[in-house]
Chain A
Amino acid sequence: MSWTRKDLLAMRDLDAAEITLLIDTAASLQEIASREIKKVPALRGKTIVNLFYEASTRTRTSFEIAGKWLSADVINFSSSGSSTSKGESFVDTAKNIAAMSPDVVVVRHSSSGAAELLARELACGVVNAGDGAHEHPTQALLDLLTIREKKGHLEGLNVAIVGDIAHSRVARSNIHGMRKLGMTVTVAGPPTLIPPFVQELGVKVAYRLEDAIRDVDVIMMLRLQHERMMAAGLIPSLREYARYWGLTLDRLQAHARPDVLIMHPGPVNRGIELSPEVADGPYSLILDQVAKGVAVRMGVLFLLAGSKAGESA
């Protein structure tokens, strides 16, 4: 099995073997984090552009560290606000960046499909670091790696993804990735936050937190973008959301298995979707996820930009 794609855009595009290759590659690179000198020459002379059109600290930092540990030159381009308000269109920016001959462009954008658009415009590799409510494949890969390290395997595991499924690219990428690897997925949230026909993606739907978390191996809580939800009339109040959908220690211990794992893509709204004692408690894998994030992004960058050079890490 070798990597043949120019880009990493969506988990939906990948087959199980490709996903496993990505996770295995990341797993083999994560020991770099424990070295005294965190640098290997795998991407020496390669240029990686982080093109971030949406505020992001951890994902951008994670890609930046990953590129630097692999010895690539990493350039960050951030633009807050929509591209149209900046005067230069997204497509124009893309063409300008292409003219500087990067090897990989990592893109984060608030519009679904922006990564596909960029990949069509650019001859170099494009990594989707989150496009609108569409996909966030490196998040799903780091989640899968985190779960595999804890459980030793992925196939047959049961996962509940809880919260705002409708607007979540993390949920979509995880649904596709987990289903392809033989995991069972239940999505849960108030009906206004469950996207239409989501069952057709091969998942079960629950409308009560207690039902969703019973007997699952992993609970993945999503961040509630609460300002947007209330303005759109999707939830009545934060108080009510936290009361019915917040994962507290009491509720977890009453309804979930004792060995359940708690994940969250961050940043956490403490006291809303997760109570602090759960976020920081023994069930939580949140910081493991962040650590795996760097390994996964090293793996992705290595496969897209480095493998043809015949070098190994």
Chain B
Amino acid sequence: MSARARNAGPLLIRNGRVIDPASGTDGVQDVLIEDGTITRVAATLPLPEQADVVDATGKIVCPGFIDIHVHLREPGHEYKETVATGTRAAAAGGFTAVCCMANTDPVNDNGAVTDYILAKARTEGAVRVYPIGAVTRGLRGEALAELAELAEAGCVAFSDDGKCVMNAALYRHAMEYVLPFGVPVISHAEDTHLARGTSMHEGVVSTELGLAGAPAAAEDVMVARDILLAELTGAHVHIAHLSTAGAVRLVREGKARGVRVTAEVTPHHLVLTEDAVRTYDPNTKMAPPLRSKRDREALVEGLLDGTIDCIATDHAPHALSEKEGEYDQAAFGIVGLETAVAILLDRLVRPGHVPLATLVARMTRDPARLLNLPGGRLTAGAPADLTLLDLDVEHAVEPARFRSKSRNTPFGGWTLRGAPWMTIVGGRVVSP
């Protein structure tokens, strides 16, 4: 692929403001990259012979952003997305690594599927790809997948994401079984019965719109259960896409008690509420649903105080035909890779709700730590995965120009200030 052919030699990134939460760095520095590795970070570096230079004056230089929750849809749903298109979307959105969920067809519940995804990533991927294996065979919630083989094949976590493992005994056994592998179980915490048949959050808006709503308790009861199971087993449980004030409180209390529970939040739950559903635009439909204003505020608070460990997009591509019709019949999920960083910069950082350094930490150091991934730091010896930001550029979200195969975003037409400016993976510029 073309991006990999470029910039094979040394690369000097000059005069940018380096923000690296892992090392506590925040200041103007030069960064030298050689052979895919960061070799020096210092105030002024000499230009090595035959090195390419990136003038990053006025730009922000960060470790590569990591998105631990995406759906690449390959194998099986290539009409929605592929490893090639999904990773290009990631690169364009400023991400240098993504973790892809197991709800493909066939499901990533055995080593052969993991091998296939990793082979696709090696030959067609624009950024690093880390597969997440299924917890249960076929995501059916009935029997454990071959978890040891999946771990050996390279899965960095286990999740039935999209479905909640309702059988608590089976889930407990999954947590115990994976303990030796040192990887977490990721919970799609949504009680199947409480959420059945619903299209949005239960509240006054669902009452007005006549849409069946899922109460916040559908999430809270499962977060509570999973924290208790983590406590019972000693396993690391990571809660995907936290969306309620109650779940934030439960995770906060669990952490305070010393339970190994961590959590992520999506950009859309941080900036949108149930009010967005009033248009009946199916691009406001996802699971968990957009919640109340109070929930949204609790999520921002949780992100600030560290209750929520990282931001992940839950990038969920769907074809237009699955997202343009009747609301209650539309598919769940929205794309996020190409809007996440700009949305967060404009709606959380620029108004002062979240410090830039906190945002960077929650998208670099913290996700890398959660899943034991390489990267997440910008220091000598680290892989040369970098995300450069332009905080000043004004732009409009244009879904027609997405690299993703899918366009299902609620942010189309939004005017934003601040965007990813350059993405570097292993020392090679993969975007623009």
Contact = CB atoms under 8 A, between A and B. Distances in A.
The CB with the most chain B CB atoms within 10 A, among A84, A131, A195, is that of A195
Interface string B323-354: 01111110000000000000000000000000
A89 B206 CA distance: 24
Interface in B49-63: none
Given A112-B210, A113-B211, A133-B211, A82 B329 contact: yes
A114 B208 CA distance: 15
B320 to A, nearest CB: 9
Contact of A132 (B202, B203, B208, B328): B328
Contacts of B215: 196
Interface string A81-111: 0111000011100000000000000000101
Given A113-B280, A116-B280, A117-B280, A198 B328 contact: no
Contacts of B211: 112-113, 132-134
Contacts of B279: 116
A196 B213 contact: yes
A292 interface: no
A116 B324 CA distance: 12
The CB with the most chain A CB atoms within 10 A, among B203, B206, B208, is that of B208
Contacts of A196: 202-204, 206-207, 213, 215
B325 A89 contact: yes
Given A12-B208, A172-B208, A196-B206, A117 B325 contact: yes
Given A196-B202, A196-B203, A196-B213, A91 B325 contact: yes
A185 to B, nearest CB: 14
A197 B207 contact: yes
Given A134-B210, A196-B207, A196-B213, A111 B327 contact: yes
Contacts of A132: 210-211, 328
The CB with the most chain A CB atoms within 10 A, among B206, B321, B327, is that of B327
Contacts of A111: 326-329
Contacts of A114: 326
B209 interface: yes
A101 B137 CA distance: 52
A64 B383 CA distance: 71
A89 B326 CA distance: 9
Chain A interface size range: 20 to 34
Contacts of B207: 195-198, 200-201
A201 B203 CA distance: 12
A83 B203 contact: no
B209 A197 contact: no
B202 to A, nearest CB: 5
A265 B214 CA distance: 29
Given A112-B209, A132-B211, A197 B326 contact: no
Interface string A127-167: 00001111100000000000000000000000000000000
Contacts, number: 71
Contacts of B326: 83, 90, 109, 111, 113-114, 117
B325 to A, nearest CB: 5
A132 B197 CA distance: 13
A169 interface: yes
Contact of A172 (B202, B203, B210): B210
Contacts of B325: 83-84, 89-91, 117
B318 to A, nearest CB: 14
Given A83-B326, A109-B326, A112-B328, A197 B280 contact: no
Nearest to B324: A91
A63 B321 CA distance: 31
Contacts of A83: 325-326, 329
A111 B329 CA distance: 8
A157 to B, nearest CB: 23
Given A84-B329, A113-B327, A133 B204 contact: no
A117 B213 CA distance: 20
Contacts of A112: 209-211, 280, 327-328
The CB with the most chain B CB atoms within 10 A, among A83, A112, A113, is that of A113
Contacts of B213: 196
Given A84-B329, A89-B325, A201 B208 contact: yes
Contacts of A134: 209-211
B346 to A, nearest CB: 27
Interface string B170-208: 000000000000000000000000000000001110111
Nearest to B200: A112
B204 A200 contact: yes
Contacts of A172: 208, 210
Contacts of B203: 196-197
Nearest to A109: B326
A130 to B, nearest CB: 10
Given A84-B329, A91-B325, A135 B280 contact: no
A31 B289 CA distance: 50
A197 B210 contact: no
Nearest to B205: A197
A116 B326 CA distance: 10
A89 B324 CA distance: 10
B193 to A, nearest CB: 10
A196 B321 CA distance: 32
B210 A135 contact: yes
Contacts of B210: 112, 131-135, 169, 172
Contacts of B208: 12, 172, 201
Interface in B148-183: none
A135 B209 CA distance: 8
15 contacts: A82-B329, A83-B325, A89-B325, A91-B325, A111-B327, A112-B210, A112-B327, A116-B280, A133-B210, A133-B212, A134-B210, A172-B208, A200-B207, A201-B207, A201-B208
Given A195-B207, A196-B204, A196-B213, 11 more contacts: A83-B325, A84-B325, A89-B325, A117-B326, A117-B327, A133-B211, A134-B210, A196-B206, A196-B207, A197-B204, A198-B204
Kindly list the 5 A-B residue pairs having the minimum CB-CB distance in the complex, ordered from nearest: A113-B280, A134-B210, A133-B210, A111-B326, A197-B204
Interface of B: 202-204, 206-213, 215, 279-280, 321, 324-329
